[in-house]
Structures are given as structure tokens and as C-alpha cells.
Amino acid sequence: MQTHPGMIRIMLLPQPPRRLVAIACVLAAGVGASVISHAQTAATNDKAGTFAFGLFGDLGYSAAEEPLMANVLDDLNRARLSFVVHVGDLGSPRAGSCTQELWARRLAQFQASANPLIYTPGDNDWTDCRAQQGAPEADPLERLVKLRAFFFASEQSFGRRTIALTRQSNTPQFDKYRENARWDLGGTTFLTLHVVGSNNGRGRTSDGDAEFAERNSADLAWLHAGFEHAVRNASRAIVIMQQANIFPAFPPFPGDPKQEPSGFTELRNAVAKEAAEFGKPTVVVHGDSHYFRIDKPFMRRGAGSNEPVVENVTRVEPFGSPFHHWVMVTADADDPNVFTFHQRLVPANMVQGK
């Protein structure tokens, strides 16, 4: 595993098998991480200028995991949060993530959320809806059209309480990209990007490559617009949320070959450039690799170089199947780093035994 100066990596791994062990390797100061109780959550949102939000995704990958997914949602509902973000993958293609039946179940769960809930798509939700993946509905581009219509018709978040969202589709040039959203809270700008795993849908078919090129252009434009908005509003920080892990051959799978041409290089470099120019705390949240981590992988000249880390950018990945937990983030107006990250382990989902 390659590390860089200033990197912070916090991991939850199975070791030994069937027992969860939290392994924390803190290599630099500047980002906090902890386990926090529900009482502490309430206190966090009571303090003036401070709020908390939740992150989860890549859960409910089989019928056996549906109760675990429900436990996560129940735990989120008991927390007093300003909002919750699902960072993609409603399930697995083999277990119905490409079907209207599972979509309807997830939509009902999202709408029942006690906290405003925002969702950004994952590769299992349309890109990997292929016969090779065992998907019963195996036309990715057809699923994408239906996904947009099913989940992104409203200008509001999901949930029993909602927040208003600004959608990229309000710009005529990008009218199909309703899934790309932005909102502000407590002097912080938040935005979602439609960036998915499986190389961002690139490199499989000519139609898929055309879709990737158009969506990638929209994502780059929305990213730039988000930073411009943050500067114009004098935001103290910005948080970018997407599904894909945009770093090649990401651990814990170091043997995975790099996919060329990459569906992520242009975006990865754009995030590093925009964040360096912004100069304030920037958080990039993603799912995809099912590997809880907090670190600083963005380099000034791309991943894998020996150039300095873009120090104001922190990458956060919440838990993923088979580990059904979530991450809470607190934002504090009195903290120059703005954010503190807390692992929220759901007691009912802890693996027991040897």
C-alpha cells in the first residue's frame, strides 16, 4: 500500500475472519476520527454554528443483508442529523439492484428517512446492469434513463424532512443531469457528481463511451461551478460526493489492473487543481471499494507522482458490504479544519464470534 507524507488512513478490516477489528493508522494531524454516541450527536447539532451529517452506501448486497441495511437506516434515523447522503450502489446486480422492485424498496426507505436524504448513483445501479453481471434487466443505458426518472424528479431531497436542492439540470446545456445536485449549509457548499465505478462506464461499448464522454463533461462543468459558487459565497469549505473510487488499483485490491483509457484521470486532476486554488478545507466522499478510510491521496500532478499532497483535500470512504455501518461528519465553525469524522458502528450489525 503506497502512502504519502501527510496521509491519514483509517480502516476497518476483517481480521481474523468473521471478527471486525478497527485498525487506525494516523500519520498526520488535522483530521479527527472517533466513535460517538447518539447523545453526543444531539449535543453536536445543538451547538451554534455546528451541524452533523451522515454518509453511507454500498450496502444491502443480498437478501441476507437487507436486515443489516434496515439496521443502518434505523441507526441513522435515531441520530439528529442535518442530512444524510447515500453514495451509491442500491445493492448488487445479481440481487436486484437493476430492477424496479428493489428501486421501489430503496425509494420507500429513503422517503421514510427521519433526516433529509440525498442519493447519488453507483455503478451497480445502472452501469453494471449487464448479463455478464447476472442482472435480470441488462441494458445499462436503458436503466440510466429510468433511474433518472425514478429517483430524481423532485427539486427536494428525500425524507420526512426535506431540503431544497439546486440541480445541474436547471442549466439548459445539462438538462438531463438531474442527479447532480448542490446545496449549502452553515457556510459549507455540498455537491454530488455522477461518477460511478467500473471505470465510469468507459471502455465497454461505443454507446457507453459516448455516454461517458457527455456525462464526464457535465461532471467537470458541475465541479467547476461548485467551486465558483463556494468562492462567490465565501464558503468556509466544500464537500464533493460521488460513488466511484477514482484512484487506480485502489487497495485493498492492489492486484487489480489499471483500466485504460481511464474514466477517472481527468476528473481526478480537476479536483486536485480546483481544490488547490480554493485553498480551504475540501472533502471528497466516495464509495465503491467497500473500505472505510480517511486519507489524503490527491497529488498536485496526479496519483502516483512524488509531487506534494494537496493538503487541504481529505478523502473519506464510508463502510460497504459486508460491513453495514456508517460515518458521521461534524462541521464546527470554531474548527479551522471544519470537519471531524466519526465511525458509527451499528451494534446489531457487529460480527460476533471467532
Rounded CA gap, 64 and 15, in Å? 22
Q: Over 60: is that where the pLDDT of 2 sits?
A: no
CATH number at residue 176: 3.60.21.10
| C-alpha span between 283 and 260 (Å, rounded) | 27
Rounded mean pLDDT, 171-184 = 98
- Name the domain count of the chain: 1
Instruction: State the first-to-last Cα distance of the chain, in angstroms, to the nearest integer.
Output: 27
Residues 6+ apart with CB under 8 A from 154: none
Provide the pLDDT confidence category of residue 201 given band limits of 50, 70 and 90: very high
Establish if 300 belongs to a structural domain.
Answer: yes
* pLDDT surpasses 90 at 255: no
1, part of any domain: no
pLDDT at 41 over 70: no
**For residues 35 and 134, which has the higher predicted lDDT (pLDDT)?**
134
Residue 73 lies in a domain: yes
Q: Which residue has the higher pLDDT, 37 or 7?
A: 37
Alpha helices in 159-310 (DSSP H): 197-200, 206-232, 265-278
Which SS3 state, helix, strand or coil, does residue 177 take? coil
| Angle formed at CA 284 by CA 282 and CA 287, multiple of 5 degrees | 165
Judge contact between 299 and 310, C-beta under 8 A: yes
pLDDT, one tens digit per residue, over 70-108 is: 999 999 999 999 999 999 999 999 888 889 999 999 999
Percent of the chain with pLDDT over 90: 72
Task: Pull the grid cell for residue 235.
Answer: 464558503
Longest dimension (CA), the chain: 56
Q: What is the mean pLDDT of residues 269-276?
A: 96
At 13, the pLDDT band (50, 70, 90 cuts) reads very low
Q: What pLDDT, on the 0 to 100 scale, is given for residue 95?
A: 86
For the ranges 132-141, 174-183, 304-313, 323-332, the lowest mean pLDDT is seen at 132-141
Q: Is residue 120's pLDDT more than 70?
A: yes
Is residue 280 domain-resident? yes
166-170 average pLDDT score: 98
Full residue range of the structural domain in which residue 186 is found: 8-349
Residues 35, 36, 42, CA angle at the centre, nearest 5°?
165
In a domain, 232, yes or no: yes
Q: What is the mean pLDDT of residues 166-188?
A: 98
Residue 354 domain-assigned? Answer: no
pLDDT at position 9: 37
In the prediction, which pLDDT does 131 show?
A: 72
Q: How confident is the model at residue 274 (pLDDT cuts 50, 70, 90)?
A: very high
Q: 283 pairs with which residues across the strands?
A: 239, 314
Q: Are 222 and 174 in contact (CB under 8 A)?
A: yes
What percent of the chain is predicted at pLDDT more than 70?
78
CA distance 77 to 88: 19
Residue 3 lies in a domain: no
Give the pLDDT score at 148: 98
**Residue 31 in this model has a pLDDT that exceeds 80:** no
- 109 located within any domain: yes
Query: Is the pLDDT score of 337 beyond 90?
Result: yes
Q: What confidence tier does 123 reach under pLDDT thresholds 50, 70, 90? A: very high
